[in-house]
Copies of this chain bind each other. A is one copy, B any other.
Amino acid sequence: MQARLRDVAERAGVSVKTVSNVVNGYPHVSPGMRERVQQVLDEMGYRPNANARMLRAGRTGVIALALPELANPYFSELAGFVVQVAEERGWTVLVDQTDGLRERELLVAGGVRHHLIDGLILSPVALGSDDLTHRSADDIPLVLIGEKLDAGPADHVAIDNVAAARAATEHLLGLGRTRVAALGHQPGSASESGVAALRLHGWEEALRAAGMHVDEHLVSAVPTFRREDGKAAMAALLESGARPDAVLCFNDTLAIGALRELHDRGLRVPADVAVIGIDDVADGRFSVPTLSTIAPDKASIARTAVRMLAERLEPGGRDLAPREVVASFELVPRESTLA
């Protein structure tokens, strides 16, 4: 049986609290006593019961990170950052996978494992802003990342997705391309505020600003943001006769699928079709050709999300008004859009 404070106390012939004081480095313990107790602690291999501590303290030191899918490199890279940053604060991260299902997103936002976690960082896919309005003060602090749910009563970090898509599109237009397709539209899904909708919007803005016609035949839809969907959507686009000479893929994973489809059809990238993605996942730096992309500052997103959560957990933090942080991004041109 694992030794408890009481066991140690009995063996050392002191009170439980004194042992606790030694364990926690409480200052008013005489050196002799400290040493004696410490020795017994070591002897018995005492390990504090994190659980009991939590119950007592009301804090757990655990935060949850709920992502659509760990297999998507963008999310796994982001998760890596979050785990690392949280670690610096002495927190542990409990990773949840929502599969982008509204039901599961609601579940985590509503607080399964209540009192087990101090806060939640959620990357919503299917959640509407209404879904969060009836969160109460009893609910744990929530920070949303990556997708804007307008007027949601929660903190939010994300890049400006409209601007990102616009920057990417402008980059393509800057190459002299005239038929810039948008790959990654998600018509039915979520509200007008989903990532896909925002990025589509940015694409349109860029085209309009350049005085170009927005041809809806150049928009290709996908069910999810996986590589195979990118490949299929690219195929559909090419077979529709839309004849794009550039493609803005709504994320890198889609772009990698698209690159593959272009390759299979003998189309050269970027000579025949230029391709750009969004996310800057590591794969894109090693694909053939390497993938131009919009690189969100993932480290900063992770850091900000954790910091906002921390602020909410401080006394009085719950009363702060919902905050909106816009993370920066950067255009990273690589071979797939080489002039």
Contacts and interface: CB of A to CB of B under 8 A. Distances in A.
Interface of A: 1-3, 45, 47-52, 54-55, 60, 62, 69-71, 73, 76-77, 79-80, 83-84, 92-97, 111, 113-116, 136, 138, 227, 231, 256-257, 259-260, 263, 282-283, 285-288, 290
25 contacts: A2-B115, A45-B136, A47-B111, A49-B55, A49-B114, A50-B116, A51-B55, A51-B60, A51-B115, A62-B94, A70-B70, A70-B83, A71-B282, A76-B79, A83-B97, A92-B96, A93-B94, A94-B94, A94-B95, A256-B286, A259-B286, A259-B288, A260-B290, A263-B288, A283-B283
A-B pairs, 4 with minimum CB distance: A76-B76, A50-B116, A95-B95, A70-B80
Contacts of A83: 70, 95-97
A113 B94 contact: no
Contacts of A52: 55, 115
A265 B114 CA distance: 55
Contact of A80 (B71, B113, B283): B71
Given A1-B138, A47-B138, A51-B51, 20 more contacts: A2-B138, A49-B115, A50-B113, A50-B114, A52-B55, A62-B94, A70-B79, A70-B80, A70-B83, A76-B76, A76-B79, A83-B95, A83-B97, A92-B94, A93-B94, A94-B94, A231-B286, A256-B286, A260-B286, A260-B290
A322 to B, nearest CB: 21
A110 B290 CA distance: 42
Copies, count: 2
Nearest to A93: B95
A198 to B, nearest CB: 25
A254 to B, nearest CB: 11
A307 to B, nearest CB: 19
A96 to B, nearest CB: 7
Given A286-B256, A288-B287, A138 B45 contact: yes
Given A83-B95, A95-B83, A283-B283, A116 B62 contact: yes
Contacts of A287: 260, 287-288
Contacts of A256: 283, 286
Nearest to A60: B51
Contacts of A73: 71, 73, 76, 283
A283 B287 CA distance: 9
A285 B93 CA distance: 31
A287 B283 CA distance: 9
A112 to B, nearest CB: 8
A312 to B, nearest CB: 16
A136 to B, nearest CB: 7
Contacts of A116: 50-51, 54, 62, 92
A334 to B, nearest CB: 12
A240 to B, nearest CB: 22
* Residue of A1, A50, A83, A84 with most partner-chain B CB within 10 A: A50
A2 B50 CA distance: 22
A233 to B, nearest CB: 13
